[in-house]
Amino acid sequence: MRQNKLRFLCKRGDIEYFSDDKFIYAKKDGEEFRLALFKDGNYYKLRLFNGIPILEIDGIRMQLVLNFRTPLDYSREVVKRLGIKKDDVVLDSCMGLGYTAIEASKKANLVLTFEISNAVYTLATWNPWSEELFSEKIEIRLGDISSEIKTLESGFFSAIIHDPPCFSKAPQLYSLEFYRELYRIARPGARIFHYVGHPRRSKGRKIENSVTKRLRAVGFTNIKYDARLQGIFFRKHSVPFQ
């Protein structure tokens, strides 16, 4: 039984949204339910962080909010730093709640985004802050980017946002093979951001160092680590960042 009093969050169409300290709830046609579900042995849910929904999987937060007021600020910073503009075709490799794809779509010509999890996609459809994800400027494909990337056209994307789960959950998205595919689909001069996080820093290991070596091995240049974004900016071919 719920112990905490619900707070009104917003209304979208005929759906009202409420929250407490742990969950977000939707109410439609008099029926109230949590925006949370079990799928394939994992527990997915939405909860608020400074007024904005974030995604948790098995209690692990999927958005970077350290040093940011909300996850929307993180997405804005990534898009700003990449210098996305109106003629860009953008790949957002891992959709999640779509905040970064949405932000990129405000500047770009087209955004293609992938989501491997039906559970995450379902929660995104219910999340009122993901509403702009389902627009004509964003194409969503359900599938595993580690295999689907092989079907994408060579030299097609002028900007790429690669924001995968942590290495322990998806090591294939940090592999030399995957980076070779990123290089293939990127246009000459393409700007790319790769979130890497900072696992095992307490043991003196820095994942950005090993990732940088693999990126350099496949031919990427202008490789720069950003501590605040916990990720790496780089280019295909040597075109300096503005």
- Residue after which a domain boundary falls, among 20, 36, 61: 61
Whether residues 166 and 213 fall in one domain:
yes
**Angle, vertex CA 16, rays to CA 14 and CA 20, nearest 5:** 165
DSSP 3-state percent helix, strand, coil across the chain (nearest 5)? 30, 35, 35
Whether residues 161 and 211 fall in one domain:
yes
- 150 lies in some domain: yes
Asked whether the CA dihedral 181, 186, 189, 191 is positive or negative, the reply is negative
pLDDT band of residue 199 (cuts 50, 70, 90) is low
Whether residues 32 and 86 fall in one domain:
no
Report the mean per-residue pLDDT for the chain. Answer: 93
**Angle, vertex CA 33, rays to CA 29 and CA 36, nearest 5:** 140
The terminus-to-terminus CA distance of the chain in angstroms comes to: 54
Range of the domain at 30: 7-61
Assign residue 207 the CATH number of its domain: 3.40.50.150
**Domains held by the chain: number:** 2
Distance CA 172, CA 178 (A): 7
- 66 lies in some domain: no
pLDDT band of residue 201 (cuts 50, 70, 90) is low
Distance set, CA 112 to CA 16, 131, 158, 215 (Å): 30, 16, 12, 22
Say what the pTM is: 0.92
User: pLDDT tens digits, residue range 88-97?
Assistant: 999 999 999 9
- Contact between 44 and 56 (Cβ < 8 Å): yes
- 175 lies in some domain: yes
- Residue after which a domain boundary falls, among 41, 61, 81: 61
pLDDT of residue 200: 52
